[in-house]
Structure 1
C-alpha cells in the first residue's frame, strides 16, 4: 500500500489491484473513520477525502494501513442480472481482435462472472471486471462522438454500460434496456462497487433509452406560472446552484455545486437564507423580472447592479401635475434589496472574476435531484441552463435567519492580464515528472484559455513532459478531486473545477489547496496563474 497526497484534505491510496481497492472501500463504508468522507474507488486506488480539523493526514494514513484488504464473501454480495441483445456495431471486430467468432465472444461474455470494481466517467457507469483473463479488448483507435444510452461495451479488461448518451471509445457489443441510472430510485445506480453482475443473451429487440429518461427531469420545477423570478435574459450562462451533492461519489456522481462557494454563502446570508440555499450562478448579462415582491442579494463577480422599475398603476395625479417616474436603483454587492412586482434586475458583466451569485429570499425552489438543486453540466443532473421565459419558483423564507450584509469585495477577484497566485500541493502523480518539469510547473505564469468552463480551466504555457519511462504509458482510472491539475499527453494542464469527471486516466501532478478552489473558479479567460507549492499541513502520509 502506498498513501499519496491528492489535496490538502484528500489522500490517494495505491493498492496492488482492484480487489484490494474494493476491499478497502468496503472496510471504510462498513466501519467509517470519523472525519472521513465518501471514498472513490479506482482501478487499483482509493481516493479518501477527510476533514483536517477531525483527523490529520498522518493519522489517517496509519488507520488506512491497518485495515484488512480482503474482500467480503461473494455470497454476501448483491447480484444484478443484465439482459443484452448482442448486436453491437463492434461485435465482429472485437471478436476478431480476440481471435474468436462472434458467438464465442458472446458465450464468454455471458459465461464470465463480473464484479463492479468502481463507478466513474459518468453517473452510474460501472467498470466491471471478470474472472476470464482472456477477455481483454483494446479501445477503439478513434472514439465515437455519440454512443447511445444502454450500449454494452468492452475496453481492456473491463465491460460497462453507458447510462446516457455520450462520447466513448469502447467496443460496442450489444444493447440493454436495464435502467442502470435512474434518479427517481432510492438507489439511482443499479450497480455499485462490490456488486456481482451476470449478462444474459436475449433475442428480442432492445430499445435504447434517451438521455432524458436516465438523467431525470430536464428542468425540474421551472415553469411559466405566476410568482417567483422570471428569466428575461440569461447572459452567457445562468445556472441554478447550491453547495452540491456530496455523498453520491460511490455512484459516479461528483459533488458539483457553486464554483465560488464563499460568494454563494454570502449572497444567501445577505438575503436572509441558510447559507446553502439554491441561488443563481450568472456569467455576465443576467436579467430577472420579479413576479410578486421579492428580496434579492448579489455577490461575486458583479458588475453594475441595476434595478429598473416595472410598469405600475399610480393614483391619478391632480390636474396640472404629473407623476414622476421612479428612478433606477443601484444596490451595492452583498446588500439585500427589494423588487416590487414587475421590477427588473440587470447585471452587467464584471471586469473582474467570472461568476456572480444572485440569492432570492426563500431560495430557488426547483425540485432537488439526489438531494441537491445544483446543475452539473457534465453529468446532466439538475435543472437545464436557464433561458428567457423560465420562471423560477421561490420558497417560503425560513424563520430566524437574519439578513447579514457584507461580502468579499469584487476588487479581490482576478482580472484578465493580471497574475493570480494559487497554492498547490504536489501529488499524487508528481513522480511521473522530473525536477525540471516540476520547476516549470511553478516557475511560469500559465494563461487561462477561452476553452475553460465549469468542468475545468485549460491552461496554456510551456508544456510539461513526463519522465522517459512514463511517456506513452497509460494510468489506470483513479479518483480526482476538484482542483486537481491533470496533465494530458500534450503537456498543457487542465485544472479541474466542480463539474469534473469523478475518475480520470491522465496523471495529476498536483492540486490546488481547498481554500483556493473558489478563487480558481473565478479565473476569467486571459488571466494568468502562478502556482506555488504549499507543504502538506497534516503531516506526511
Structure 2
C-alpha cells in the first residue's frame, strides 16, 4: 500500500489550511489539481517549497476541505501545461565573484553551470512574477547574503539555496546576484501576466549585450471630463482607492489586498446605496479634501474624524455627520481633519469610484504595486453610473465600538482585545509561548502600515518579553494569510494586514480571526493590544490550560 504524500494538514487561521507534502513534485501535483478542480468554497491556492496553502470563503468550507484533501489521489493529478522559456542573461552580477568563492568554481564555470542545465518553475510568491526555479546544477547551492540589500534592481538573476530566480521589479532582497536580464517577468497587458509559471522549463542563455529593465509602477488614474467626478484638493498622508480586493492570484505573488477595514468600507457603500464591492477612498490620518464636480451623495465610515463641507467661495461651512449619507453639491469641498479614534476613514460616493480595474479589482496594492496610484492633489476621480433603484441608507452606529470586549477598539484603560487561533507553526515556540503571547500587553509601533501592524513589548510591563523560539534554522517560505502573527528572530510579532506578502519565511505562531481584522486595521501607533485564544468554530475563549495544550514541546 502506497503511503500518502500528504505529511500533515495544519490550520492557518479559521479559513485556510496549510498542507504539508513529501516533495516538490507532490506540491505541484496538489496545486495543479486544486487549480483545475477547486474544492467547495475555495478562494485561493498557493504552492511553496513543501506546502500548499488553501484558503476558503468560510469556516464550514474549511473544515469540510480537510477530509477532501486527505482523500485526493495525487498520482492521477493532471500535469500542468508546460512551456519552455529562454532568459537572455548578461552575467555581470555584483555577487558573481562571491558565488565563485562559495562554490569553488571559476566565474566562467559558475556561468556554465547556470546555463548548462534547464530549470523548472517550482512555485510563485514574494512578488508578482517572482518564480522559484528548481532543478539546476547542485553545485550552485549557495546561502543567502548575510545582509540583504535594501534595493535589488529589476531583472536581476539570482541564486539562493537550491533556487534561482529573476527579480521582476526593484525590491529588497538577500539573494546572490549573478546577472541581469531585460526579460519582462510581469506584464498586466499579457493574457498571462507572469512570464514563468509553475511547471515551465526555463533556460538561461548567456549574452554579451548590455540590457536595461524597467520597474512596473502603479497604474495612473485616467481622467475624464465627462460625467460627475471628485477632484482631490489634498490627499493627506495617504489616500488610496480600495474595494474588497482581488482574491485568487496568490500563486502569481499577488495578495488579495482591498480595504484594510472591510467592515467600514462595506458600511460606507451601504449608506450611499452602492454594492458592497464598489470602490471607495481609504484615507489614513485625515487631511483629505475633495471637490465635487456635479451634485453627489457621500458617506464617511471607519475612523472618527471631524469633517465639514465648505462652500465654493470658502465663506461657509457645515459639519458632516459620520456613518450617514450627505450631499456634496457641485463646487463644494469636503474636508477631513485628524481622527480622534481609529486611523482609517472610508469615503464612499453614490455610483462608486469608477477607475479602471486591474485583475478584476480597483484596489491599490502597496506591496505588489498593482492597481491605481496613490491619490495626489489634482487627481480627478470619475464617479460610476447609478444602476437600479437602491436607496441611500439611514444613519447607523459607527463600526469602532468602545469597551473591553473582542472586536472593539479599546480606549482609556482598555487595550484592544484581539481573538486568535493557534498555528500553523506554534510548535516552533513551545508550551510557554501561549502565556507569553496572551498574558502581557503589546504596543503597536509607528512602523505599521497596510502590510502589517508591528508590535513591541509594553514598556510599562517589566515582565513582558519577546517571544522565544525553541527551534533553530530557517523555515522554508510558505503561504500566509491576513491576520497571521509572524515572528521574526527579534521575537516581536508582525500582524499581517491586507497588503501582506503571500509567502513568508518566519514562523506564524497564531492568526487573528477574520472578524477582528477590521479593528486591527484601525489601531493607532502606541496603542495597547492583548490577545486571547479562542475555539476556531465557536470563537469562545479558551482557558489558559487549553491554550497551552495547543503548543507541544518543540524540538531544538
What is the aligned partner in structure 1 of residue 394 from structure 2? Answer: 405
Cα 1:354–1:206, aligned 2, differ >3 Å: closer, same or farther? same
Contact 1:334 1:407 in 2 (8 A): yes
Residues 241-294 of structure 1 show CA distances to partners (whole Å, capped at 9, x for unaligned) of 111111111111000010111111111111121111111001112111112221
- Decide which of 366, 373, 385 is 1:377's aligned counterpart: 366
Which residue does 1:123 correspond to in 2?
128
Tell me, yes or no, if the aligned pair for 1:22 and 1:71 is still in contact at 8 Å.
no
The 1:132/1:371 distance shift into structure 2, 3 A limit, reads same
Change (3 A) 1:292 1:242: same
**Distance in 2, Cα, partners of 1:77 & 1:455:** 33
Secondary structure of 2:258 counterpart? coil
SS in structure 2 of the partner of residue 375 of structure 1? coil
Pair 407,523 (structure 1): closer, same or farther in 2 beyond 3 Å: farther
Contact 2:169 2:214 in 1 (8 A): yes
TM-score, with structure 2 as normaliser: 0.89
Corresponding residue number in structure 1 for 2:293: 291
Does 1:420 find its partner at 2:416? Answer: yes
Partner of 2:302: 300
The counterpart of 1:32, out of the listed 23, 27, 38, is: 38
Ranges in structure 1 where 5+ consecutive residues have no aligned partner: 313-324
Provide structure 2 residue ranges, at least 5 long, that are not aligned to the other structure.
Answer: 1-6, 402-407, 458-463, 540-549, 551-556
Query: C-alpha distance in 1, partners of 2:200/2:428?
Result: 33
Q: Give how far 1:103 is off.
A: 1.5
Q: CA deviation at 1:21?
A: 1.4
| 2:459 is aligned with 1:455 | no
Cα deviation for residue 7 of structure 1 reads 0.6
Report Cα offsets for 1:288-314 as digits up to 9, x if no partner. Answer: 1112221111111131221111139xx
Does residue 210 of structure 1 match 2:214?
A: yes
1:235-384 maps to which residues of 2 (within 5 A)? Answer: 235-283=236-284, 284-311=286-313, 327-384=316-373
Match of 2:85 in 1: 80
Root-mean-square deviation (CA, aligned residues, Å) is 2.2
Deviation at residue 415 of structure 1 after TM alignment: 5.5
- 2:168 aligns with 163
Structure 2 counterpart SS, 1:25? helix
Structure 1 length normalisation: TM-score? 0.91
Q: Is the 8 A contact 2:16 2:62 kept in 1?
A: no
Relative to structure 1, the CA distance from residue 73 to residue 348 in structure 2 (aligned partners, 3 Å threshold; closer, same or farther) is closer
Higher relative contact order (CA 8 A, sep 6+): 1
Q: Bigger CA drift: 222-231 or 477-486?
A: 222-231
Alignment of 1:376-525 (within 5 A): 376-409=365-398, 411-412=400-401, 414=409, 418-461=414-457, 462-468=464-470, 470-471=471-472, 473-525=473-525
Does the C-alpha gap of structure 1 residues 348 and 30 become closer, same or farther in structure 2, counting only changes over 3 Å? same
Structure 1 residues 19 and 362: CA distance shift in structure 2, 3 A: same
Paired with 2:177 and 2:225, the residues of 1 have a C-alpha distance of 42
The superposition leaves residues 482-528 of structure 1 with CA deviations (integer Å, 9 ceiling, x where unpaired) of 00000000100000001111100000000001111111111111211
Query: Aligned partners of 2:151 and 2:190: how far apart in 1?
Result: 26
